[in-house]
A = this chain, B = another copy of it.
Amino acid sequence: MIASTQTNNPLGGDAPPAEPPDAVAYARAKIKQAGLRVTQPRLAIVATLARCTEPVGAEELHRRIADGACDLVTVYRCMGVFEELGLVRRAYFKDGAASYELDLGAPPRYHVVCRATKRVEELDAAAAAEIRAVLVSVEDKLRARGFRDVRHVAEFFALAPR
């Protein structure tokens, strides 16, 4: 499902290259299926989000969207809608500001956030797998107790080397 043809790794500036059409198609389906409308701003947001390699804040996401294709308020509103659709995940590391990332069905990822530089680094697959295994088992226990729609977040904070 997730882009499998990406070869670049921009970050920092937005040096954006090819754009995974899969994400947009997936989103379009989810939105329609929910009886909501597929609009230009929504597509632009999803496409932009699909090009981000790490969670981004509303403000930054808005900045990255091609020339004012939509208002910041719309970004906030869409994030709310998309989150309910299970199309994006919201996290709260980096100060108290929310960060969003597309949820294309793949298992959640985990990150280390540098408290000094605010830089975010994704954990390697091995560590992620270990973490996921345990957290998912706990989620299952909660579901067994009647909790529904269970999700989790796990993040690490530290002072990065150098």
Mark A residues whose CB is within 8 Å of B. Answer: 92-93, 96-98, 112, 115, 123, 127, 130-131, 133-135, 137-139, 141-142, 145-162
Cα–Cα distance between A157 and B159 once the two chains are bound (Å): 27
Q: Which residues of B contact A159 (CB under 8 A)?
A: 147-149
Contact in complex: B158, A149 (CB < 8 Å): yes
Known A96-B92, A96-B96, A138-B130: A154·B153 in contact at CB below 8 Å: yes
* Most chain B CB inside 10 Å of its own CB: which residue of A130, A146, A156, A161: A156
The 19 listed contacts between A and B (C-beta, < 8 Å) are A92-B92, A92-B96, A96-B98, A115-B149, A130-B137, A133-B134, A142-B156, A146-B161, A146-B162, A147-B158, A147-B159, A147-B161, A149-B159, A150-B158, A151-B158, A152-B154, A152-B156, A153-B154, A154-B155
A156's partner among B131, B151, B157, B160 (CB-CB below 8 A) is B151
Contact in complex: A147, B130 (CB < 8 Å): no
A92's partner among B93, B148, B151, B162 (CB-CB below 8 A) is B93
Contact in complex: B156, A150 (CB < 8 Å): yes
Known: A92-B92, A96-B98, A142-B158. 8 other contacts (CB 8 A): A92-B93, A130-B138, A134-B134, A139-B156, A147-B158, A147-B161, A150-B156, A151-B156
